[in-house]
Amino acid sequence: MQKDHYDRDELLDCGYGRMFGPGNARLPVPNMLMMDRVLKINSDGGKYGKGEMLAELDIHPDLWFFACHFPGDPVMPGCLGLDAMWQLVGFHLAWLGNPGRGRALGVGEVKFTGQVLPTAKKVTYHLDMKRVIARKLVLGIADGSVQVDGREIYTAKDLRVGLFTSTENF
């Protein structure tokens, strides 16, 4: 039976290839792992009934990106929140049992209406799977949002991730 939640150690196991097996999807490892836990993952929930994910990242003032983006005006890069959502779509595809390595393939629309500062406590990612194709082509499409301390600050529509058994000619 598949688990419906994962802690940081389990996410690190995924990153080091110990969760889905050799040649299959992995999450990044620190510093690029953009979540500390997956609170919920399913295959039939969410707005479209095709799956839903909820994950969190604890914010600490000493996180690596605050020192370099931007010195004297620290803020989490918006692209890291976007990457976290792509990470979750790929994780969902592998969690469903699909083979291959994950690659972000694009996004339809992204809106930023806020920021993550070092004074924040928690970032929450929420994704609703819109479509899952699991044939020769493995593709996931999702809508997502990012909240900081309960306030929505980013939205993304049509986040696309594919799983590829060979990435040599990608």
Residues classed as catalytic: 69
Helices (H) and strands (E) in the chain, counts: 3, 7
Beta carbons within 8 Å of 101's beta carbon, 6+ residues apart: 23, 24, 25, 26, 163, 164, 165, 167
Which residue's structure tokens are 């040649």?
23
Q: Are 37 and 14 in contact (CB under 8 A)?
A: no
Asked if the peptide bond before residue 91 counts as cis, ω within 30 degrees of 0, the response is no
Length of the chain: 170
